Amino acid sequence: MTASPRGRRASRPSGDERQRAIVEAFETLLRTRAMADIAIDEIAAGAAISRSAFYFYFPSKQAVLLELLDRMVTEVDERLATIGVPGDDPAAWWRASIGVFVAVFGEHRSVTVTLAEARATVPELRDEWARRSTRWVELTASTIVAERRRGRAREIVDPRATSIALNAMNERVLVASFGAELPALAADDVLDVLTDVWCTTIYGTPRP
Amino acid sequence: MTASPRGRRASRPSGDERQRAIVEAFETLLRTRAMADIAIDEIAAGAAISRSAFYFYFPSKQAVLLELLDRMVTEVDERLATIGVPGDDPAAWWRASIGVFVAVFGEHRSVTVTLAEARATVPELRDEWARRSTRWVELTASTIVAERRRGRAREIVDPRATSIALNAMNERVLVASFGAELPALAADDVLDVLTDVWCTTIYGTPRP
DNA sequence: GAGAAAGTCGACACCGTGTCGAAAGTCGCC
DNA sequence: GGCGACTTTCGACACGGTGTCGACTTTCTC
């Protein structure tokens, strides 16, 4: 009755916990090893099922990752929705917005790092990420325009292009920081530095 | 006499062209497919040798990629060395510096995109990239400090942290643009937008 | 308690990787 | 001109992970 029995959103009454167990087992494994080094065998074992049972729930590892991505971006969007629009203290508003990404992705560091890698290869991930991040870019751009109209932001030739660049920065900074790459920002500095660059770029000064 | 016969810098007199042919065949293949989809078979065929002969020259696909990375960053460093220090027109200087990255990586788009992906998995790539980008970050940071001393740059609390963020932005913007991801900057806009964000962040204004 | 649907399992074929040992080619030197 | 050492090539093998298939079991429903 519902979609194909193998699809990832089967919403089957029972077996639902299995699906959840698989996702969690995968995330747990991801904390210690890269996706390429994790065999489906191990995910299945972590979820207490056999390897072929895994295939009943997901067509591949990548599909599990897509599920993980969905959860994370949904949470980001939910939290962003509660923030509203910039008020008297725009720096605080930007900081809060950026903080949502730092917090949500920071809670799933290994998944974030894996996502950044797998996105290049897996079309579904790539498309889903494109959809979501396009919305964030547009949100940023329209806020910049609004701030400009209020006379607070500096003159920016192409607000959309600028917001693409700023969002790209956040993404890469977070991944590098989570992945403990070098050079990378210390976890405690990420939010401060990103907010500083954003505000300076948008207003010409870090404290508008 | 030289290092191990299989290592990547064997500098063997003959067979050197083979090595080069392999590297080139790989880059060519990379233009049409992702690394994961390219079998060593095909690289070998492209270089007109057998699969096992491939292993005589390189221990793996990743090692070929490392060679490609080396070439690119070497070229970047050579070009950067000719630029000198900022003069009367600092915006032009930053633009020229960023332009080196845009140009060199732009000439090897598929390699750049592949590198960004494989770096997460391959320790050698990760380390090499870390070494190189640390130097660029330090170059950026010391230039910011120098510009501050001359009284041109704005007050920046942690110049190194800021330069990490700016360099991270460039990296991600370039990869997204080369990989035709969405949202991404159009190739023609990349240099303008990056220069704008860098200068505004460093000086408080896009045209210092 | 019969039948369909959901879930599980072991077995199989496939493909790419990396390794090994043997063969063939190349070069210098007596 | 032929001997020996080194370089290069090759075919064959074993291994490990993937995805699929058909059969078996459990569970739910009428």
What would the DSSP string read from start to end of A14-82? TTHHHHHHHHHHHHHHHTTS-GGG--HHHHHHHTTS-HHHHHHH-SSHHHHHHHHHHHHHHHHHHHHHT
When pLDDT is cut at 50, 70 and 90, the band that residue B14 belongs to is low
Two tokens at A110? 């290994």
Judge if the beta carbon of A121 is closer than 7 A to nucleic acid strand D. Answer: no
Beta carbons of B166 and A197 less than 8 Å apart:
yes
3-class DSSP state of A191: helix
Calpha distance A120→A38 (Å, rounded): 18
Instruction: Decide if pLDDT at A121 tops 90.
Output: yes
Residue B175 CA to residue B161 CA, distance in Å, equals 21
CA-to-CA distance for B184 and B178, rounded, in angstroms?
9
Average pLDDT, chain B: 92
Q: What is the DSSP letter of B154?
A: P
Closest CA to A109 of A168, A174, A169: A174
Residue A7 has pLDDT above 50, yes or no: no
Give the separation between CA A12 and CA A22, rounded to whole angstroms: 15
Tokens found for residue A108: 């799933």
- pLDDT above 60: residue A124: yes
Given this model, what pLDDT does residue B3 score? 31
Kindly report the length of chain A.
Answer: 208
**Could you tell me what percent of chain B has a pLDDT over 70?**
93
What is the pLDDT confidence band of residue B16, given thresholds at 50, 70 and 90? confident
* Cβ neighbours of residue B147 closer than 8 Å, sequence gap 6 or more: B86, B90, B153, B202, B203
Q: Is residue A13's pLDDT more than 60?
A: no
A172 touches chain B (CB under 8 A): yes
pLDDT at B18 > cutoff 90: no
Evaluate whether A61 touches A29 at the Cβ level (below 8 Å).
no
Q: Each residue of B156-181: pLDDT tens digit?
A: 999 999 999 999 999 999 999 999 99
Q: Dihedral sign for Cα A20, A23, A29, A30, please.
A: negative
Instruction: Tell me what pLDDT residue B15 has.
Output: 62
User: Which of B193, B194, B203 to probe the A interface (max A CBs under 10 A)?
Assistant: B193
Average of per-residue pLDDT across B147-163: 97
pLDDT band at residue A1 using 50, 70 and 90 as cut-offs:
very low
Contact yes or no for B86/B144 (Cβ under 8 A): no
Contact A181 B36 (CB under 8 A): no
Please report where in the chains the tokens 């391959």 appear, as a residue: B122
User: Which domains, from first to last, does chain A contain?
Assistant: 13-58 (1.10.10.60), 62-203 (1.10.357.10)
Place B9 in a pLDDT band, splitting at 50, 70 and 90: very low
Q: pLDDT grade, residue B4 (50/70/90)?
A: very low
Report chain B's C-alpha Rg in angstroms: 19
Query: CA geometry: angle at B161 spanning A163 and B193, to 5°?
Result: 30
A6 CB-side CA count, 13 A: 9
Q: Could you report the per-residue pLDDT of A156-208, keeping only the tens digit for each?
A: 999 999 999 999 999 999 999 999 999 999 999 999 999 999 999 999 999 99
- For the segment B64-80, the average pLDDT, to the nearest whole number, is 97
A36 contact B CB<8A: yes
* A120-144: average pLDDT: 97
Q: Would you state the pLDDT for residue A15?
A: 62
Distance B117 CA to C22 C1' (A): 39
- Interface contact A197-B201, CB threshold 8 A: yes
